[in-house]
Amino acid sequence: MIERAHTPTFIVSTRVGRTDVGQTTVTIDDDALHVAVREASTDRTIRVPLASVDAVVLRDGEVVASLRNGTTVTFVADTALEIHDEIASRCRALPELTHALRAFGSRRGHRSTRSHAADDQQRFFAPLLDARRQAVAAGTSAAAMSAFDADALMTAFTAELQRFAAERYGDHAPARRALEAELVDLFEPLEAALTTLGHTARNATASADDLRLWREWARQLRATFEVADRVWLSLDPALDSNPWKL
């Protein structure tokens, strides 16, 4: 994702709901908006957790953050576009994904003694891990989401399953088709997860300001990694029963 200042600060005019609280200093970190209000008798800071922001909209030089409790917080400034993009980017930070992979890279993930077990595992997870690398390096949230294109991931996984079968029974068409069919059956939970991932991505893209839809996509992305982990634990014994014959 694009690198940003750790805690950017802006001087803005702020409204909370319909109440004008005047000029404030807004600081944005990875967890919250901190709105420092200057009043006659004292200074106070309003903390708005980013997790409570359901939508952030830019219109007519104003940034309107709609909160989960129904409150709106409006910022008016010449830097409205920068403020909007900063809030939106931080609210769309990618979730941690590889922690969900309990099998990947572990002995539990390849209990087999076949010589190509670790390589097979690396190849199976490669589409998701490559997409993650692209997403982390992406300059925008939209580009990060595009890195996990569900159709492209489905194509990559399907091609790898076909290669697994061809490596084992390249010259024996009936056995190759039988193994491929078995692998495809075992892959079905991940296919369903990827289908749902594509659906949530389309919803989030169609309503880019609605952070609830983006978070739904992010939850499904994490769930897809978890399903891939479980599917590998089913595929591994099937490959063990069909050793590489090329």
Q: What pLDDT score does 100 carry?
A: 66
Q: Which residue has the higher pLDDT, 242 or 9?
A: 9
CATH fold of 9-91 = PH-domain like (2.30.29)
Q: Is the pLDDT of residue 246 over 60?
A: no
Percent of the chain topping pLDDT 70: 91
Asked whether the predicted pLDDT for residue 39 surpasses 90, the reply is no
| Banded model confidence at residue 205, pLDDT cuts 50, 70, 90 | very high
For residue 37, what are the CA distances in angstroms to 26, 147, 173? 9, 40, 73
- Judged against a pLDDT cut of 70, whether residue 191 lies above it is answered with yes
Q: What is residue 157's three-state secondary structure?
A: helix
Q: What's the full length of the chain, in residues? A: 246
pLDDT of residue 97: 84
Is residue 46 within 8 Å of residue 35, measured between CB atoms?
A: yes
Q: Is residue 123's pLDDT more than 90?
A: yes
Question: 143: pLDDT confidence band, cut at 50, 70 and 90?
Answer: very high
pLDDT band at 2 (very low <50, low <70, confident <90, very high): very low
Averaged pLDDT score across all residues of the chain: 90
Listing from the earlier edge strand, what are the strands of the sheet with 72-76?
43-49, 32-38, 19-28, 9-16, 72-76, 62-67, 53-59
Residues 6+ apart with CB under 8 A from 134: 147
pLDDT of residue 183: 97
CB within 8 A of 11, min separation 6: which ones?
A: 23, 24, 25, 26, 77
What integer pLDDT is reported at residue 3 of this predicted model?
43
Q: What is the pLDDT of residues 169-186, one digit of tens each?
A: 988 999 999 999 999 999
pLDDT of residue 140: 85
Bigger pLDDT: 139 vs 13: 13
- 229 vs 113: CA distance, rounded Å: 19
Average pLDDT over residues 152-161: 98
Residue 159 predicted with pLDDT over 80: yes
Angle at alpha carbon of residue 240, lines to 239 and 244, rounded to 5°: 70
**For 98-120, how does the pLDDT look when each residue is reduced to its tens digit (9 = 90+)?**
776 776 665 554 566 677 788 89
- Is residue 109 helix, strand or coil? helix
Q: Is the pLDDT of residue 40 over 70?
A: no
Contact 16, 44 (CB under 8 A): no
Q: How does DSSP assign 24-69, residue by residue?
A: EEEEE-SSEEEEEEE-SS-EEEEEEEGGGEEEEEEETTEEEEEETT
> Which residues lie across from 118 on neighbouring strands?
none
- The model carries a pTM of 0.87
Q: Are 132 and 149 in contact (CB under 8 A)?
A: no
